[in-house]
Copies of this chain bind each other. A is one copy, B any other.
Amino acid sequence: MPPLPSEHIVKSYDEELARLTGEIQRMGDLALKELEAAIAAVVERDSDSAERIVESDKEVDALENEVGQDVIRLLALRQPMARDLREVMAALRISSDIERIGDYAANVAKRAIALNRVELVRPVFSLPRLGKLAAEIISEVLLSYRDRDADRALLAWARDEELDGLYTGMFRELLTYMMEDPRNITACTHLLFMAKNIERIGDHATNIAENVYFIVHGTQIAQTRRKGDNTASVVAKVGTGKSA
């Protein structure tokens, strides 16, 4: 049976949405690979690989531009409503979060290059652990977007707390190393900023999870969780301990 004209329009809209979704999946896969490669570049002290990561981030940026243009065209020509409109708006927001994730991964790579130029007095095992957890969360969030699975998004969203805990521990550890021996200061400053970048990546992953939930349910995630950086108080404590 040949499709009715109205189905034609629906199908064509679905195709455009599928294209948009595909672009976002591709962006997400690239950003995830960037993060994993950046962590590997730190561990293996591989500056050449780090340079390539910084370069490859341009691809993510280019895809974000494409998504932005597709969204504007889709809104103008298709005037989507209800869930369709949520899909389009969420695509825009998710692409912006993935772009930020790629940016932070590229920052980790940039600092890896700098870190390779200075003496590393102590090996730091926490960074790969932090990076691995962030990568896992991103991967889960991307799967939840692919399947429009709000429950999976919620589970990934909740794991950011684990990441924040790990980050706070690492922050404390690095500060102690710096105080122990000034020769650690330069390397530890790099590692502090790298850890901070990964902590921010976690926040953007939770934003994506929130958008997946919003697509499916049309509402915000009801649970509230204070996202992010608790190191302000940690530093105070470490500092107080030292100056006491």
Task: Contact check, B114 vs A236: say whether CB atoms are below 8 A apart.
Answer: yes
**A197-244 at interface with B (beta carbon < 8 Å):** 229, 231-233, 235-236, 238-240, 242-243
- Measured between beta carbons, the chain B residues less than 8 angstroms from A189 are 175, 178, 192, 235
Give the residue name and chain of the B residue nearest to A68 (CB).
Answer: B89
Tell me, in angstroms, the Cα distance from A142 to B61 when the chains sit together: 25
User: Within A71-109, which residues are at the interface with B (CB < 8 Å)?
Assistant: 71-72, 75-76, 79, 81, 85-86, 89, 92, 96, 107
Task: Judge whether A133 is part of the interface by a CB distance below 8 angstroms.
Answer: no
Q: Are B239 and A187 in contact (CB under 8 A)?
A: yes
- Min CB distance A74 to B, Å, is 11
Chain B residue contacts of A72, Cβ below 8 A: 85-86, 89
Would you call A238 and B186 a contact (CB within 8 A)?
Answer: yes
Minimal beta-carbon separation of A217 from chain B (angstroms): 15
Q: Are B187 and A178 in contact (CB under 8 A)?
A: no
Complex Cα–Cα for A100 and B231 (A): 19
Are A242's CB and B183's CB within 8 A? yes
Residue of B nearest to A118 (CB): B239
Is B118 touching A186 in the complex (CB atoms < 8 A)? no
Task: Flag whether A119 is at the interface (Cβ < 8 A).
Answer: yes
User: Does A179 reach chain B (CB closer than 8 Å)?
Assistant: yes
Do A175 and B185 have beta carbons less than 8 Å apart? yes
* Nearest Cβ on chain B to A230's Cβ, whole angstroms: 9
Complex CA–CA separation, A31 to B182 (angstroms)? 37
Residues of B within 8 A of A119 (CB): 239, 243
Whether A11 is near chain B, meaning CB under 8 Å from some CB there, is no
20 contacts between A and B (CB under 8 A): A72-B85, A72-B86, A75-B85, A79-B79, A111-B232, A114-B232, A114-B233, A114-B239, A118-B239, A118-B240, A118-B243, A175-B185, A175-B189, A178-B185, A186-B236, A186-B238, A186-B239, A190-B235, A192-B192, A193-B196
Known A186-B236, A189-B192; further 6 A-B contacts with Cβ < 8 A: A114-B235, A117-B236, A117-B240, A118-B239, A119-B239, A192-B192
Q: Which residues of A are interface residues toward B (Cβ below 8 A)?
A: 71-72, 75-76, 79, 81, 85-86, 89, 92, 96, 107, 110-111, 113-114, 117-119, 175, 178-179, 182-183, 185-187, 189-190, 192-193, 196, 229, 231-233, 235-236, 238-240, 242-243
